[in-house]
Amino acid sequence: MSTGRNLLIASVVLNVFLAGALAGGAVWIKRGKPAQGYSLEAAGGRLPDQQRTLFRKALREVRQESREIIRDGQQARREAADLLRQPVLDTAALAAALERARNADVTVRTRLEQRIIAFAAAGSAEDRSLLAEGLSRRAGPQPSTPPKKSP
């Protein structure tokens, strides 16, 4: 009887685990990749294959050209993390490290956006429309604005 009971418990646990995995998989399929976040590269996901390849290549080139800036930003974040671990916080050094990281991020983001602008300018209206859809999709639903109150 003890073996049968143990098998029953193991079966119930396994079934609950599988049901959770199936439910999680269904949500993942319905919503897309979880915690994907905003990605400029993902905005080009619905472009035709050839254009999508060119789009991703253009953005990859920007990242390669910006490798040093990206490394500087990563190093600044590591420095900020190290400063936060210190027993006495040097707020000026922390602020400077975070500013360097932010500046690196903004520089790379600006370069990516400039390349997207150049790509869009050279593309067709249909491709621009697909990019617009991708950006809108990544931006999330538009918040509803409450009606303006008249005085």
Give the mean pLDDT of 115-141. Answer: 85
* DSSP one-letter code for 142: P
In the predicted model, what is the mean pLDDT of the chain? Answer: 83
Residue identified by tokens 């809108």 is: 136
Please report, for the chain, the start and end positions of each structural domain, with discontinuous segments joined by +.
Answer: 63-132
Most confident of 43-52, 97-106, 121-130: 97-106
Q: Is the pLDDT of residue 36 over 60?
A: no
pLDDT-derived band at 46, boundaries 50, 70, 90:
confident
Percent of the chain with pLDDT over 70: 80
Tell me, what's the pLDDT at 96? 96
pTM of the predicted protein model: 0.64
Give the mean pLDDT of 132-144. Answer: 72
DSSP codes, 60-115: HHHHHHTHHHHHHHHHHHHHHHHHHHSSS--HHHHHHHHHHHHHHHHHHHHHHHHH
With the C-alpha atoms ordered 41, 42, 44, 50, is the resulting torsion angle positive or negative? Answer: positive
Q: Which residue has the higher pLDDT, 59 or 5?
A: 59
Cα 2 off chain centre by: 50
Tell me, what's the pLDDT at 86? 95
pLDDT tens digit sequence for 83-93: 999 999 999 99
The number of C-alpha atoms within 13 Å of 84 and in the hemisphere containing its C-beta is 9
Give the mean pLDDT of 108-128. Answer: 92
